[in-house]
Structure 1
Amino acid sequence: MGVLSKIEVEQRLLKVVRCECDLENVRLVRAKEEVAAQEAKVAAGESARDELDAAKSALAQLTEAAQAAAAKRERAELETAETNLRRQEKLLKLGSAHKSDVDRAQQKLAELKAQKN
């Protein structure tokens, strides 16, 4: 597999991880809305408490899933930045990259590490 193909695969995998994270966040928002709707129905006497409990249980599961997806996204972005930095350093040694490319890769990695902490 060529270098460009590897880069494309890495970028697409990162895009998939980002989409999964976005999907889990949308599901979480929807679950929060459902809990709020069920709470309103219970308060108005239109719904049983069991339905609210089920919605809260689903919310708890989706919260965990969203947190796991966010952690996976952070790891994937960090790994991609580290890989890019190594690649840029190798290309610089071979004379196929500029020092500014390495500097940008280092800056991106530093930003991601700072966000994590």
Structure 2
Amino acid sequence: MAHVKAVVHTHSVKAIKYTRRDAAVQALMTLNISRLTKGIWNRANCREYEEGEICTIPIGTDHELIDRLHDALKSNPSSCSVLVRDHGLFVFADTWRKAKKECEIIEQQFELEV
């Protein structure tokens, strides 16, 4: 991800609770983009997701964290975010403002789903 110049990382309780749901089978967080979730960047298409599109955020493990983050992003080319089970959320962007905005949108989604 050559454009990455900023990373926002949280250890929010809501993110951790989300990753514990169906931990044995869940490997992706799926968001149906709506007015509430607009602003999430689609890395594969170099644009924000549009209303009605599906955004997936990989959920990985804390083991060998850096390698896992890289692998999760590589296998999910449209995502700029990774949830790490029992750890938190990582959001990657070209500016800290974009990373913060996307982090806030995803964190808001945790409130709705947890």
Tell me, yes or no, whether TM beats 0.5. no
Structure with higher strand content: 2
Superposition TM-score tier, normalisation by shorter sequence: under 0.3
Select the structure of larger CA radius of gyration: 1
Structure with higher helix content: 1
Q: Which of the pair has the greater relative contact order for Cα pairs under 8 Å at 6+ separation?
A: 2
TM-score by length of 2: 0.28
TM-score by length of 1: 0.27
